[in-house]
Amino acid sequence: MSKTKLTINNNGSVKIEGDFEIVDKNGNAYGLQGREVVSICRCGLSKNKPFCDGAHKGHFEHEAIAFDLPPKKV
């Protein structure tokens, strides 16, 4: 199985690439029609949630810079 990659885009969506499944809160899978790349909405403005439709343009600002989380609590 290939590794799944999530890319947090500046001022926009989360791009998911690879072998993945997206399910709703009840465990029902979204029909991705064979897609291996999709973008998930982060701004809440998409009319096609959870998928991005570009509605964030000019309405959402976030500079995506990677950082380390604090140590995992045991």
Range of the domain at 43: 1-65
Residue 26 in tokens: 């009840």
Whether residue 74 lies inside any domain: the answer is: no
Whether residue 71 lies inside any domain: the answer is: no
Number of domains present in the structure of the chain? 1
pTM of the model: 0.87
Phi and psi dihedrals of 6, rounded to 5? -110, 130
Condensed to tens digits (0 to 9), the pLDDT of residues 35-71 reads 999 999 999 999 999 999 999 999 999 999 999 999 9
Whether residue 70 lies inside any domain: the answer is: no
Condensed to tens digits (0 to 9), the pLDDT of residues 22-45 reads 999 999 999 999 999 999 999 999
Whether residue 8 lies inside any domain: the answer is: yes
Whether residue 28 lies inside any domain: the answer is: yes
Question: Cα–Cα distance between 54 and 28 in angstroms, integer?
Answer: 25
pLDDT score at 1:
52
